[in-house]
Amino acid sequence: MGLHDKTVVITGAARGIGRACAVRAAEEGADVVLMDIAVDVPEIPYALGSADQLEQTAHLCRKNGAAVLVTTADVRSRSAVTSAVTAAVDRFGRIDALINNAGVGAPSGKAAHDVTEDEWQVMLDVNLSGPWHLITAVAPVMVAQRSGSIVNVASTAGLVGYRHFAGYVASKHGLVGLTKAAALDYAPLNIRVNALCPGPVRDDPAVDGQMTAVVADALGISYEEQEAVYLESVATSSLVDPADVAGAAMWLAGDDSLKVTGTVVPVDAGFSAR
Ligand SMILES: NC(=O)c1ccc[n+]([C@@H]2O[C@H](COP(=O)([O-])OP(=O)(O)OC[C@H]3O[C@@H](n4cnc5c(N)ncnc54)[C@H](O)[C@@H]3O)[C@@H](O)[C@H]2O)c1
């Protein structure tokens, strides 16, 4: 019950890593604010999390005893995010941790010069401006409390390049940079900011995971071929599970990591050790 009595905001909570983080936070005793766009948008070439999936996450959290606030907001919109955070503070009175997880993996699959202006912009808007919008809304709450932990879910694409993923790689490197700068801004105020860099994550049906399928589609190969490439790239004999990422996120969110800030933590089955 490491997060007992804490309020945790999780973006991109409808499925995947966001759902794994939300359920784990509930299991550890937190109340949770679940945020997702919960609707498809024309700029993204695959289905995003749905309202039903978001409700399923809420159901799993309630089953674990958490009080739950479900909010739909597009992280690209600073005003939508601010309204959702205001609703969270009205409901729970405080925010102890923010898991800045919402992100998109495509449009991708092209050399950098072939990426269109719109494709470039949507990647930066969701993956980099989105987390910054959340910080602008949540940090004032944490500053008033003089406590809080922000966990930015970046990627190993925030550490190294991936061929034909220029927008994604640039946005995740940017998020690592934002993490370090914000960590210095808020350290005197007892607010910590860290980045997690998940490596090759298995599409876990338990959380409706599908990012590896998205990556395979973008590269025009099958899921099995992509998984084989991933397995070749890791040091362990299996890929990362969303639950592995959630475990690391909870450690960074909670009080067991009180002196940890400005760090960039790979959860990548040894990928970055090579
Ligand atoms: N799965 C992986 O292989 C992997 C690896 C490294 C990093 N990551 C990162 O982990 C995070 C979660 O990935 P996932 O695999 O769970 O993906 P996912 O697509 O399964 O889930 C992402 C969630 O974010 C939501 N979302 C997307 N755009 C949004 C927006 N504009 N506003 C609000 N919500 C939005 C989606 O609706 C979806 O529910 C992402 O930031 C991703 O880049 C994933």
Collect all residues with Cβ–Cβ distance below 8 Å to 234 and sequence separation of at least 6: 199, 200, 240, 268, 269, 270, 271
pLDDT at residue 64 in the model: 97
156 band by pLDDT with thresholds 50, 70 and 90: very high
Whether pLDDT at 2 is above 90: no
Cβ contact 130:11 at 8 Å? yes
Is 79 exposed, middle or buried, given 0-12, 13-18 or 19+ CB atoms closer than 10 A? Answer: exposed
Q: Which domain holds residue 238?
A: 7-265
Task: Please tell me if the CB atom of residue 22 comes closer than 6 angstroms to any atom of ligand 1.
Answer: no
Whether pLDDT at 189 is above 80: yes
Ligand 1 atom 25 nearest Cα: 12
Ligand 1 pocket, mutate which of 104, 207, 226 (most atoms under 8 A from CB)? 104
Q: How far apart are CA 106 and CA 98, in angstroms?
A: 24
Q: How many CB atoms lie within 10 A of CB 189?
A: 15
DSSP track, 114-135: G--HHHHHHHHIIIIIHHHHHH
Q: How far apart are CA 150 and CA 228, in angstroms?
A: 33
Q: Is residue 221 assigned to a domain?
A: yes
Q: Is residue 87 assigned to a domain?
A: yes
Collect all residues with Cβ–Cβ distance below 8 Å to 274 and sequence separation of at least 6: 233, 235
Whether 168 sits among the annotated catalytic residues: the reply is yes
pLDDT at residue 210 in the model: 94
List C-alpha distances in Å: 140 to 95, 145, 180, 210: 10, 9, 18, 34
Task: Please tell me if the CB atom of residue 267 comes closer than 6 angstroms to any atom of ligand 1.
Answer: no
pLDDT at residue 160 in the model: 98
Whether pLDDT at 157 is above 90: yes
Distance in Å, CA 188 to ligand 1 centroid: 31
Q: Is residue 16 assigned to a domain?
A: yes
Query: What is the per-residue pLDDT across 235-268, written as a single tens digit (0 to 9) for each?
Result: 999 999 999 999 999 999 999 999 999 999 999 9
pLDDT at residue 1 in the model: 73
Give Dmax (Cα) for the chain: 50
pLDDT at residue 42 in the model: 97
Read off the pLDDT of each residue in 212-221 and give the average, rounded to a whole number. 95
Q: Is residue 1 assigned to a domain?
A: no
Give the number of domains in the chain. 1
Whether pLDDT at 194 is above 80: yes
CATH number of the domain where residue 194 is located: 3.40.50.720
Strands 97-100, 68-72: parallel, antiparallel or unpaired by DSSP?
A: unpaired
Per DSSP, the three-state class of 97 is: strand
Q: How many CB atoms lie within 10 A of CB 125?
A: 18
Q: How far apart are CA 107 and CA 92, in angstroms?
A: 36
Q: Is residue 273 assigned to a domain?
A: no
Mean pLDDT of the chain: 98
Ligand 1 pocket, mutate which of 43, 48, 132 (most atoms under 8 A from CB)? 48
Its sign, for the CA torsion 86, 176, 162, 121, is: positive
Task: Please tell me if the CB atom of residue 14 comes closer than 6 angstroms to any atom of ligand 1.
Answer: yes
- Token readout for 89 is 């503070």
Q: Is residue 56 assigned to a domain?
A: yes
Query: What is the per-residue pLDDT across 68-121, written as a single tens digit (0 to 9) for each?
Result: 999 999 999 999 999 999 999 999 999 999 999 999 999 999 999 999 999 999
pLDDT at residue 238 in the model: 96
Distance in Å, CA 114 to ligand 1 centroid: 24
Q: Which of 162, 168, 223, 230 is catalytic?
A: 168
Query: What is the per-residue pLDDT across 15-48, written as a single tens digit (0 to 9) for each?
Result: 999 999 999 999 999 999 999 999 999 999 999 9
Q: How far apart are CA 166 and CA 227, in angstroms?
A: 21
Task: Please tell me if the CB atom of residue 37 comes closer than 6 angstroms to any atom of ligand 1.
Answer: yes
Q: Is residue 274 assigned to a domain?
A: no
